[in-house]
Amino acid sequence: MTTLADGQLVLIVEDNEKNLKLARDLLRYHGFRTIDAPDAETGLRMASDFKPNIVLMDIELPGMDGVTALERLRADPAIAGIVVVAFTASVMPVDRDRFSRAGFAGIIVKPIDVAIFPRQVLAYCNDLAGDG
């Protein structure tokens, strides 16, 4: 394990097991703690229970989509301040605009670039620390 991160807790809401495993393994290797959820409903419960530093939210999920999940998260005062990043392969300009308007802190594109992914996540965590 490297010491890039300092134990920040990342909630990964992702229904594709291969994408989830790659993201989880990379983050853990670089010093993050991770928890994961296969769908938005479970992700919202976990966000409430664990109060992660950041949520990586897939957009195309079974049941509730990631944009609706973000709306529900923002409506709950206990977890409304958690940084949520769209974790998606949908990167057309219209998609980026939709995610920005929805209130995502940013976008991490899938498939992830293993060379930069941990630093991308850390940058969102550090932005939060700087605002706080």
pLDDT, tens digit, 9 for 90 and up, residues 34-46: 999 999 999 999 9
| CB of 40 closer than 8 Å to CB of 70 | no
Q: 67 pLDDT exceeds 70?
A: yes
Q: 57 pLDDT exceeds 90?
A: yes
List the chain domain ranges: 9-131
Rounded (to 5) percent helix, strand, coil in the chain: 45, 15, 40
Q: What are phi and psi of 61, to 5 degrees?
A: -120, 155
Q: 2 pLDDT exceeds 70?
A: no
Which CATH number does the domain 9-131 belong to among 3.40.50.2300, 3.10.110.10, 3.65.10.10, 3.30.1540.10? Answer: 3.40.50.2300
Q: 98 pLDDT exceeds 80?
A: yes
Question: pTM score, two decimals?
Answer: 0.94
pLDDT, tens digit, 9 for 90 and up, residues 25-34: 999 999 999 9
Q: 131 pLDDT exceeds 90?
A: no
Confidence of residue 132 (pLDDT cuts 50, 70, 90): very low
Residue 80: strand, helix, or coil: coil
Per DSSP bridges, beta strands 83-88 and 107-109 are parallel
Q: 62 pLDDT exceeds 70?
A: yes
